[in-house]
Amino acid sequence: MPDLPAGWSAFYRVVRRIPRGQVATYGEVALLAGKPRAARQVGYALAALRGAKHDIPWQRVLGTRPRGHAAISILDPMGAAVQRDLLETEGVAFDERGLVALDRFGWSRARRATRTSRGAARRPPRAGSSRRSSRARTRGRRQLRPSRYPTRTGGTFQISSAYSRMVRSEENFPVRATFRIAMRVQCSGSR
């Protein structure tokens, strides 16, 4: 393999452990490698293997989708077709939308690690502490949070936002589209 960043070897060790016929997501690989916020780095590490001789089953790592599913995240149609073919020969089934059910084909070790890491973030209450959690203290009444925007009394404000995402053109090619939203807000004089 070519010279790659030293931190990526942890990702490669995790990917090598994914059994045949099962998949994991980029985030799960990062979490098991001890770098929970490095899902994008996992993608970079696997993309760096292109064209090199290696023994890493890169096709078993997919992008997360809602409702317990994962999907191929490669935008290149040829690379995506190769990944899908490799997974189907291993016995991984895709539904009509191109999604893989993680409850059926997800790597169980990654599932356990994800669940325990989320639960481990909560600290148990201190011994002898009689204070209830903030959720229990505010139950029944609305908790006010400071606004993200500066407040003024009276006047008209222009609020605008823009975001871009990949969409499909009429010829079914991926295209980056930018959406802009603008809104005028009239504020009353009272607070």
The reply to whether 112 and 170 lie within a common domain is no
Residue 162 structure tokens: 């823009």
Residue 53 belongs to some domain of the structure: yes
Residue 135 has pLDDT above 60, yes or no: no
Q: Domains in the chain: how many in total? A: 2
The reply to whether 178 and 100 lie within a common domain is no
The reply to whether 31 and 114 lie within a common domain is yes
The reply to whether 83 and 24 lie within a common domain is yes
The reply to whether 101 and 169 lie within a common domain is no
- Mean pLDDT (the chain) is 78
- For the stretch 156-167, pLDDT in tens is 666 666 666 777
Count Cβ neighbours within 10 Å for each residue of 47-70 and write b for 16 or more, e otherwise: eebeeeeeebbbbbbbeebeeebb
Residue 133 belongs to some domain of the structure: no
- For the stretch 52-76, pLDDT in tens is 889 999 999 999 999 999 999 998 8
pLDDT, position 162:
67
- Write down the pTM of the prediction: 0.59
The reply to whether 29 and 109 lie within a common domain is yes
Least confident of 65-74, 104-113, 137-146: 137-146
Hey, how many other C-beta atoms are within 10 angstroms of the C-beta on 11?
26
Residue 85 has phi, psi (to 5 degrees) of -65, -45
CA pair distance 172, 155, nearest whole angstrom: 45
Confidence of residue 155 (pLDDT cuts 50, 70, 90): low
pLDDT, position 6:
85
The reply to whether 77 and 164 lie within a common domain is no
Q: Whole domain around residue 60: which residue ranges?
A: 8-120
Residue 136 has pLDDT above 60, yes or no: no
